[in-house]
Structure 1
Amino acid sequence: MGSKCCRDDSIQIKDEIQTAQYPDATLPLGPKQKESLSQQGSKNSQVQEILVPIDKKQNEYELGSEIHVDKEQKQVATVVQEQQQKIEEIVQSQKMTTEQIKKEVQSQNQEDNCAKSMGKKIKLGVETFVQSKVGSIGTHYNFGKVLGQGAFGKVWKVTHKTTGLVRAIKQIKKNSLIKEEESRLFSEMNILKNLDHPHIVKLFELFQDENNYYLVTEYLSGGELFDRIKKMSSFSESIAADYIRQILLATVHCHEKKIVHRDLKPENIIFISEDPKSQLKVIDFGTSRKFDNQKAMSKRLGTPYYIAPEVLGHSYTEKCDIWSCGVILYILLCGYPPFVGKTENQILERVKIGKFTFDPEDWDSISKEAKEFITKLLRMDPNKRLSAKQALEDPWLAKYAPSTQVNRKVLDNIRQFQAQTVLKQALMSYMITQMSTQKEIQELQKEFQRLDINNDGFLSKDEFLKGYLSIQNDLKLAEEEVEKILEKIDINQSGLIDFSEFCMAAMNQEKLLSVSRVEQAFKIFDQNGDGFISKKELEIVMGDLGDDVWSQILSDCDNNGDGQISYEEFVKMLQNKKL
């Protein structure tokens, strides 16, 4: 019932290797217990049978953020932590003739030229609104039930007072953290705030008061990956392909941003909701870090069943994440890990050797392509192992690839997007990143992924162009359209369209700028509730603006020249299509 993204594993102190614990340090893996999940029918999940002594931990939760402590001076703990093995509809297209598009392009030329000469731009990325704030968090959130608790603090289900959106908050006691743990907390926040992807947990805010830190993330209520599988009466390769594709999409995006996760495992794969068609997200970036292609990493971090052999050798690259994906897929298809043992040391020794088999009893019904794919993910030599991008192009995944038909209505929404003023860009970006519901975003993410041909989590000019050419054949006109789109919606000026930028433009504008949402946004920015937004109040939400940007904002919407923005000016600026 509670959000599994809030399982409080920060309560567990992690040494160099996070491991699976069970009372007698044995892993029951008799032949009769290795029934394939794809053959289980209405029986209980094999994952539940294999790692059965774990029920006492099923009420623990975590955010997509954790605190980890490395104690390199001490011998690595041999106590093995329990491994909780819990395993589209396209909207009707709206047609627009080429002639109509040409007329609209011509009619907007003057507006575009005006927009281009606006003056200095402010870059507005997803990280803009993830500010570290000091003060009482109770001013902004109503606290609900406790989802988990331990030595470091508690995890709560909360409701944002102004928007009514449900979120999760991890409360961490300052006096329980040593300096290194505190630096890890801020490092993880900086990683998460810059990740903008439909399959990665979203961080909203970081608060602190005299006694605590508070990390605010989205609330994911769908449970862990293996929890979902246990509820299913059957399990197919197509479902496994869908799940591993989503994990790999998140992994590609991280690797493109030079971020390695280092602890991919089923406990860190969480579904957004209990809906059978719910998408999943990767959480827990507590062991993540920026990597350098020219320098190998050496710190031994991970979880025994999923850790790559080169990590045990203290010299590895981001491809350690690919090994973990291979182990996850192996378990999804047969119900048990490829490397097992009665103790942590036995497991790790078998990982080092890297030999695994496909027992005919369990794998005869699994396709040759699936087994070949797993083998390519679990190659001992990282240089011969697939990259995340290569994995997404594998024939086995291609066999179960979703439809690539582009929704014309979404492209039309993007074409019609208007936000020429700095403040309107900022507010619409805020609404999509901080105020939109998971259901609203989920409706758009499949369209984003249809356009994202290279699966890197960004849309390039060429990818947009191919999308537009799929609905009309005039190359020159399509190129003009794409240039206009990039100018309008690339608000962080990266040269690429990020997921949130896409959603901001692709969502129906009347829906995004509904009366209730506009009113809520104004209340959030109007911190003192006096009916006006000042520069100081805007900076509380957006960070330092600078006098030049504030002057530009005032020139755009301060009609009466009083140096602040009233509710009426706010509404007029947002809801007028032409500014």
Structure 2
Amino acid sequence: MGCFSSSGRHTLPKSEASNTPSQVVHTKEDIKIDASMFVGHRSGQVLEHYKIGQKIGSGAFGCVRIGTHIATGQKRAIKTIHKESISEDLTERAKFFTEVDILRRADHPNIVKLYEFYEDEKYFHIVTEFLQGGELFDYIIKNKMLSERAAAIFMRQILSAVAYCHLNNIVHRDLKPENLLLENDAPQPNLKVIDFGTCAIFDPSRHMTKKYGTAYYIAPEVLRKDYDEKCDIWSCGVILYILLSGKPPFYGRTDRDILKMVEKGEYSMRGTIWTTISQGAKHLISRMLDYNPKNRISAREALMDDWLAQNCAVSPSAQSIPLASLDNLKAFRAEQKLQHAVLTFIASQLLQNEDSKQLSEAFRNLDKNGDGKISREELLEVYSGMMGLEAASEEVEKIMRQVDANGSGYIDYTEFIMATAQKEKMINQMNLEAAFKVFDSDGSGKISAQELKALLGSGGGENETIWCELIKDVDQNGDGEIDINEFKAMMMSLVESHK
């Protein structure tokens, strides 16, 4: 059923459409748009949407294959798990759904992106971005040991992802080079954390007790089954040790031998290799491998370490960030909520890594403290260097109002990509047609108020009239729904306004 103008029928009687004290959202302006809205749980066959290619990995419960998205031609990774393998094991089933939920909500340039999740009679299929650079483990073997600068750049990316997770009460529990994938085979590629199968949502006031991890990287307190999120920092310390020396700090012939070494927590930074490594690097390793978790550095503290900052050479000044990105961020406007939603969908689901590579780097340079989001203060520091403090304060407030679509008080990664990407790259025929199909969930050729509520309703409360208002903003022929031509006209107006 469509929505109609005041001269025609209303979808709901006034008594149902009127606001009540229990309703949180009262107007369409209050709808919160978030990238997680578009990570759908699909029914039906994954083969209807993907051409399945070669196997690139396997495990106890399934395998990972390359899939080509038929609608866009994008290569993606499809992790397939046989339902029977986890149906009777409640722990494994819970871990599986926890992984899906965490990846759905994660929005960080160094955490693998989840596109969608399929379920058919026999299988679950998790569709994520395809990272063709291989494991950091293989990169280490190929290069044997890295320069301090290269190691620091990798470590900053890992710690940024970990800090973001810990800030959101997520602990990974199995950080290791095999679970760190590279986007491509460039000399200094972007890195992403994968495999959240052992992760958990933790309560900061309570310690965890279940033992998860891999022998070389597991923290001693995990072996005692009494630990908190700092176990991830221990793993980071082991990874940095290996990046710089090419060898693990705790080793043995068997896992049992390795775990005995971990339990003692004794390691050495002596020998020929370590004479060439700076005191700053050694100091950071020792802070991350502090045997007492209470004294161990946090992810956010590690990101501010002097050695890391000096070697990454990240500057918050305008010179380190492309002016085009800053100009696009400042100029971003989406007057209609539906435009905002479509741009968020395209930025999170359709843009290729190569399209957003420079934008990702700009995001990292703006994100001075490395927590995976951009604050008012971080924006103010950059723009005040361009236009003065007073003008910058006013400009930053405008940016926050326009770009912070989910009302978090920060510019999240997808919001930044959405606002700074070239509109001509985002708003093209292929992307608009793919987006329309998602919004037109029943395939009728028109988008209804009910379809908008089903897709965006988690950010819009129960006020039914706002969905009709969204339709009315775009509905040129007054039939109460949005067809493909009206949809395209709405989005192409953004391209015109940015010329």
TM-score, normalising length: structure 2: 0.88
Q: Is the 8 A contact 2:84 2:122 kept in 1?
A: yes
Which residue does 2:447 correspond to in 1?
A: 533
1:151/1:330 CA distance change after superposition, 3 Å: closer
Q: Which of 465, 475, 485 is the aligned partner of 1:558?
A: 475
**1:426, 1:399 → 2: CA distance?**
39
The answer to whether the Cα contact below 8 Å between 1:162 and 1:523 also exists between their aligned partners in 2 is no
Counterpart of 1:415, as a letter, is K
Deviation at 1:510, TM superposition (A): 2.3
1:207-356 → structure 2 map (5 Å cutoff): 207-232=118-143, 235-356=146-267
Deviation at 1:470? 2.1
CA distance in 2, matches of 1:293, 1:478: 37
Counterpart residue number, 1:188? 99
Determine the structure 1 residue equivalent to 2:343.
428
Aligned counterparts of 1:382 and 1:424: Cα–Cα separation in 2: 47
Aligned-partner residue type, residue 392 of structure 2? A
Please name the residue that 1:573 is paired with. Answer: 490
**3-state secondary structure, aligned to 2:312:** coil
- 1:248-277 CA distance string (max 9 Å, x none): 111111111111111111101100112223
- Rounded to whole Å, the distance in 2 between the matches of 1:256 and 1:408 is 30
If the length of structure 1 is used for normalisation, what is the TM-score? 0.76
Q: Secondary structure at the match of 2:358?
A: helix
The structural deviation recorded for 1:550 is 2.1
> Does residue 513 in structure 1 map to residue 424 in structure 2?
no
Q: What is residue 111 of structure 2 aligned with on the other side?
A: 200
Contact 1:201 1:282 in 2 (8 A): yes
Tell me if 1:122 matches 2:31.
yes
Contact 2:95–2:199 (Cα < 8 Å) also in 1: no
Alignment gaps of 5+ in structure 2: 1-25
CA contact (8 A) 1:131 1:541 kept: no
Equivalent residue for 1:85? none
Equivalence map 1:306-455=2 (5 Å):
306-404=217-315, 405-455=320-370
Q: Which residue of 2 aligns with 1:135?
A: 44
For residues 394-414 of structure 1, the C-alpha deviation after alignment (integer angstroms, 9 at most, x for no partner) is 121122123422322111101
SS of the residue 1:154 aligns to: strand
Q: For 2:407 and 2:77, locate their aligned partners in 1 and report how far apart those are by CA, in whole Å.
A: 31
Judging by fraction of residues, say which structure has more helix. 2
Residues of 2 paired with 1:194 and 1:516: CA distance? Answer: 26
Worse-matched range after superposition: 229-238 or 534-543: 534-543
Inter-CA distance 203–353: structure 2 relative to 1 (3 Å threshold): same
How far the C-alpha of 1:213 sits from its partner, in A, is 1.0
Alignment of 1:472 onto 2:387: yes
1-structure distance, mates of 2:484, 2:203 = 48
* Structure 2 Cα separation of the partners of residues 151 and 280 of structure 1: 25
Q: Report how many aligned residue pairs link the two structures.
A: 462
Work out the CA distance in 2 between the residues paired with 1:376 and 1:538: 50
Distance in 1 between residues matched to 2:93 and 2:28, nearest whole Å? 40
Q: Which residue of the partner structure matches residue 95 of structure 1?
A: none
Structure 1 CA distance for aligned equivalents of residues 189 and 452 of structure 2: 35
Between the aligned partners of 2:275 and 2:377, the Cα distance in structure 1 is 43
Q: Distance in 1 between matches of 2:100 and 2:321?
A: 34
Letter in 2 for 1:324: S
Indicate the RMSD between aligned Cα atoms, in angstroms.
2.1
What secondary structure does 1:400 align onto? helix
User: Equivalents in 2 of 1:151, 1:256: separation in Å?
Assistant: 31
Cα offset, 1:536, TM superposition: 5.3
Q: Is the Cα contact below 8 Å between 2:72 and 2:430 reproduced in 1? A: no
Q: Secondary structure at the match of 1:297?
A: coil
Offset at 1:148? Answer: 3.5
Q: Is the 8 A contact 1:406 1:470 kept in 2?
A: no
Distance 1:454 1:435, change over 3 A: same
Change (3 A) 1:245 1:287: same
Confirm or deny that 1:482 pairs with 2:417. no
